[in-house]
């Protein structure tokens, strides 16, 4: 039986006694047992004074939580559980003035039809007091959850270990928490004050302060379910944090976050930052300064060195003139950084320059074959808006003693589950000796130009491109080894021709050529291939010159992308079938 219904029943009974015995100054009643379909009350007692003041006390020995819950409009259906405890109440005339309860809920189970809320073996303890103060009820109390598992979309608590203690007031217009403390096992505790508008429970004000929270526990128990479908959905965290948050009329007004010896690592291998120490104060209508330091980490498996960063925050915008990020053995410098969060979307732009870094370190980090030399890059301006990153101008790379320019770059959802990349890539004057040695292709000397236009990668897999590779213009030594001939001819497809090993050409380790060229237009999984010029039965890939000279032909114009990748794999394994003229 609810305390409200119990108090009304007691008041009615005591008043009836008073009107029946007007000469009595005080009435007392006692009962050892009071029956209810869902509960058993014992040790019930009450008094009524003739001036209209009354009070009572009842002990609930055992109640059926499922049946008792049916009397109230709860958001879930309670299917199991027992309730026990005590209730004390007092009032004057027909008005309840004070109520005190100490209740225990044991082994409760609940759920809803949509499957979004459920609980099993839940234990709760409520100790609360409420007193009428004018048109308000002033309340204080404590609620502890000490056992069970709860799923409350999207949160899942494998073991309930939460507590709230506070005081405040309740009226028809508002619910206020004047002083509150919320704790969660494995995370820590926070103090708070709050006011809700009634009856819609809309947030009017909220101030939260927490110190020394465990970030590992906070991420696993609270943050991760809300980040599951984002790039932050599979992290490991460790470290401590202090947090202050202020909200007014459901709008965030301020926060202050301090991180101490904080580590975070993406378990998908995209990034990691270690020994992070930061102070990030923010206010909606004020300018603040944020600082951040980290001892190391990696970005897409590229090693990051110790870094100090600083930025100016102004509402939902961030600016800083320069950020320097040590990466591998070089430095990535970001200039004119500006970011803003508008209409639930991030928008930012910046310029970037990469000082020379070791190609050996870079290729190892990204899983490429070992390369020699240095890599440097410059990006005039990168812009990100509505999930799309674009580049204003061309990005230049210095590699293989030549240059690579990336133009019209666009990257959608860059760190998401389904990124989409578009660009035009132009390669000029690459050293074939460095290039072929890097990829164990067979020795070649000369220079190479290449263009990959209309490149589209979906989930980092080629969807379409127009690729063309050819000898650079100019005079320079042009030599090709037997192995390189075999590998190039293997890319052109099988055909009937004498192998080098069965001809007089086997006595030569290398040959002269005048030009090289190979192209591929990829559409719908099929590559349309061509060479430097047409041939009677196909196309020329390598055109010979001088003595000894060799010409390599390709015979198949249409090749599936999967087959071409297989040919590349066979090349690396030495399983080739050269076509030689």
Those residues with Cβ within 8 angstroms of residue 453's Cβ, 6 or more apart along the chain or in another chain: 424, 425, 465, 466, 467
Is there a domain that residue 529 lies in?
yes
- Residues 66 and 509: their CA atoms lie apart, in Å, by 89
Question: For residue 564, what are the domain limits?
Answer: 417-573
Distance, C-alpha 568 to centroid of its chain: 36
Q: Break the chain down into helix, strand, coil percent, rounded to 5.
A: 15, 60, 25
Residue 564 resides in a domain: yes
- CB neighbourhood size of 478 (10 A): 20
**What does the alpha-carbon distance between residue 387 and residue 347 come to, in Å, rounded to a whole number?**
8
CA dihedral 519, 523, 527, 528 (to 10 degrees): -60
pLDDT at 231: 79
User: What is the number of other CB atoms lying within 10 angstroms of the CB of residue 475?
Assistant: 5
Measure Cα distances from 67 to 1, 37, 39, 80, 177 in Å: 10, 8, 9, 9, 31
Alpha-carbon distance of 215 to 431, in angstroms, equals 50
Q: Is residue 141 part of a domain?
A: no
Helix axes 482-492, 561-573, angle to 10 degrees: 160
Assigned domain for 524 exists: yes
* Residue ranges, the chain, pLDDT below 50: 1-4, 6-24, 494-502, 504, 575-581
- Structural domains in the chain (count): 1
Domain contains 560: yes
- Determine the pLDDT at residue 20: 42
- At residue 40, the pLDDT reads 58
Query: In 3D, which of 453, 545, 541 has the Cα closest to residue 492?
Result: 541
Whether 523 is covered by a domain: the verdict is yes
In a domain, 124, yes or no: no
Question: ∠138-143-147 over CA atoms, to 5°?
Answer: 170
Residue 328, CA distances (Å) to 9, 124, 531 in order: 78, 54, 39
Q: Does any domain span residue 543?
A: yes
Written in H, E and C, the secondary structure of 454-480 is EEEEECCEEEEEEEEEEECCCCCCCEE
């Amino acid at each position: 039986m609810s305390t409200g219904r119990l108090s009304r029943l007691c008041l009615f009974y005591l008043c009836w006694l008073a009107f029946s015995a007007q000469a009595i100054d005080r009435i007392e009643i006692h009962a050892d047992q009071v029956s209810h379909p869902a509960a058993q009350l014992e040790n019930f007692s009450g008094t009524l004074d003739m001036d209209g003041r009354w009070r009572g006390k009842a002990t609930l020995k055992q109640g059926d939580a499922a049946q008792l819950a049916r009397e109230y409009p709860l958001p879930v259906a309670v299917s199991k559980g027992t309730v026990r405890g005590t209730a004390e109440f007092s009032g004057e005339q027909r008005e309840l003035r004070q109520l005190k309860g100490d209740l225990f809920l044991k082994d409760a189970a609940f759920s809803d039809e949509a499957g979004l809320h459920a609980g099993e073996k839940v234990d709760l303890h409520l100790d609360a007091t409420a007193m009428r103060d004018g048109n308000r009820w002033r309340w204080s109390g404590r609620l502890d959850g000490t056992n069970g598992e709860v799923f409350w979309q999207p949160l899942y608590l494998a073991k309930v270990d939460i507590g709230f203690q506070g005081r405040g007031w309740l009226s028809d217009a508002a619910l206020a928490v004047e002083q509150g403390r919320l704790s969660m096992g494995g995370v820590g505790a926070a103090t708070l004050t709050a006011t809700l508008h009634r009856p819609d429970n809309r947030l009017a004000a909220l101030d939260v302060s927490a110190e020394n929270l465990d970030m590992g526990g906070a991420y696993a128990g609270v943050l991760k379910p809300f980040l599951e479908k984002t790039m932050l959905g599979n992290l490991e965290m460790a470290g401590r944090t202090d947090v202050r948050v202020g909200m007014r009329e459901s709008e965030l007004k301020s926060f202050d976050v301090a991180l101490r010896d904080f580590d975070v690592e993406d378990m998908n291998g995209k990034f990691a930052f270690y020994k992070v120490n930061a102070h990030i104060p923010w206010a909606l209508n004020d300018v603040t300064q944020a600082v951040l330091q980290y001892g190391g980490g990696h970005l897409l498996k590229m090693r990051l060195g110790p870094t100090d960063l600083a930025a100016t925050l102004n509402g939902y915008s961030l600016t800083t003139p320069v950020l320097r990020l040590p990466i591998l053995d070089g430095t990535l410098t970001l200039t004119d950084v500006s970011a803003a969060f508008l209409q639930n979307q991030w928008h930012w732009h910046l310029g970037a320059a990469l000082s020379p870094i070791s190609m050996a370190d870079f290729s190892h980090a990204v899983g490429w074959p070992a390369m020699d030399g240095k890599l440097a890059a410059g990006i005039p301006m990168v812009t990100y808006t509505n999930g799309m990153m674009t580049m204003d101008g061309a990005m230049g790379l210095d590699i293989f003693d030549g240059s690579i320019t990336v133009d019209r770059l666009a990257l959608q959802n860059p760190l998401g589950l389904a990124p989409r990349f578009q660009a035009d890539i132009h390669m000029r004057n690459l050293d074939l000796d460095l290039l072929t040695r890097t990829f164990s292709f067979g020795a070649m000397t000369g220079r190479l130009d290449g263009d990959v236009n209309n490149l589209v990668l979906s989930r980092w897999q080629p969807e379409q491109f127009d690729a063309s590779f050819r000898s650079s213009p100019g005079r320079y030594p042009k030599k090709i080894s037997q192995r390189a001939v075999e590998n190039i001819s293997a890319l052109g497809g099988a055909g009937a021709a004498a192998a080098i090993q069965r001809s007089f050409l086997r006595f030569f380790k290398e040959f002269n050529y005048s030009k090289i060229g190979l192209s591929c237009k990829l559409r719908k999984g099929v590559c349309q291939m061509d060479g430097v010029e047409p041939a009677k039965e196909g196309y020329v890939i390598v055109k010979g010159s001088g003595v000894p000279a060799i010409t390599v032909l390709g015979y198949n114009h249409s090749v599936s992308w999967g087959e071409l990748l297989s040919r590349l794999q066979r090349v690396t394994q030495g399983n080739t079938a050269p076509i030689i003229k």
